Chains A and B, each alone.
Chain A
């Protein structure tokens, strides 16, 4: 058994790198939320309400983000409109 284990270790299991990848994504996401102002979630909801009055866009089709570049803050609004048929 021991001898088998010895040969098996050459095949490195790698759940740790998977863990790191997942954490990188979730932590980056958490930090972006942390730096955005308190009114941000409410702003998103209200923007969506306005856009929905005129189109059939879904919450998932609307991306609102706030980027910081030096002294500027850029509010980016991205709406993917459903094909109008």
Chain B
């Protein structure tokens, strides 16, 4: 049975698209047929993060409006044969997204894919609403920072009351937390909310903390999901998070500050 996962946060700039790309690639690496769908109508960026921007011909709205079929709009990523993206449209027409249209596309994707990852735009407008409406599971991306935590809690409230599962009284959307841009050093210094603080506040299970890392910017520069960078701590953190998402019980590797030893300080990055 295909699963629909929404990656959402409320606040912008916290790492939703990075997380969507990482989870897409991570699930594809595990052998699942995976598609990442960009719901940020008018401001598409997933194609750029995943290195597909020059191959966009048709988009989400073209399919809804019947100008193209789903297979024409889907783009296979260069890195993985079983990973596809469905780009968002650059239209400024906010009403182009309709409930029937989105449902039709998701039903079409369910026939081919094991996992459908919906990359939500920031905010709680139409795009964000439709990205979460049909979700079976939700990955809440949060930064250890007051406005991001508060917005995440708002989004949890919306998932619990406005999603299809809530409206139709089904089993609730399964929630997961990804804490991005985490800096264990700043936590030690008392300058940053800790993983436990955020877990206490939001009260949802943690898939992983992703350390603040320059490799995230480098990966986006190159258009390759950071999880495919074999030497990145952020990539490793995402890879662990994907395994936990699939039910593996792994110890958390990036929660605590490790003081660099003498050689680390001399030669480490």
Contacts and interface: CB of A to CB of B under 8 A. Distances in A.
B157 A13 contact: no
A27 B190 contact: no
Interface residues of B, number: 19
B169 to A, nearest CB: 17
A20 B190 contact: no
B204 to A, nearest CB: 12
A6 to B, nearest CB: 12
B81 interface: no
Interface in B79-110: none
Contacts, number: 46
Given A23-B150, A27-B201, A31-B157, A13 B193 contact: no
B191 A15 contact: yes
Given A19-B146, A27-B150, A12 B190 contact: yes
Contact of A17 (B157, B189, B190, B200): B190
Nearest to A17: B190
B154 A24 contact: no
Contacts of A17: 190
Contacts of A27: 149-150, 153, 201
Interface residues on A, range: 10 to 19
A26 B190 contact: no
Majority-rule SS of B interface residues: helix
Contact of B149 (A14, A15, A23): A23
B150 A13 contact: no
A70 interface: no
Interface string A1-35: 00000000100111111011011101100110010
B190 A30 contact: no
Interface in B112-170: 145-146, 149-150, 153-154, 157, 160-161
A13 B193 CA distance: 12
B187 A34 contact: no
Given A19-B146, A22-B146, A24-B201, A34 B157 contact: yes
A39 to B, nearest CB: 15
Contact of A16 (B153, B160, B194, B200): B194
B157 A19 contact: no
Nearest to B192: A16
Interface of A: 9, 12-17, 19-20, 22-24, 26-27, 30-31, 34
Nearest 6 A/B pairs, CB to CB: A14-B190, A12-B190, A34-B157, A13-B190, A20-B197, A27-B153
Given A19-B197, A23-B149, A27-B153, 10 more contacts: A13-B189, A13-B190, A15-B190, A16-B193, A16-B194, A17-B190, A20-B200, A27-B149, A30-B150, A30-B154
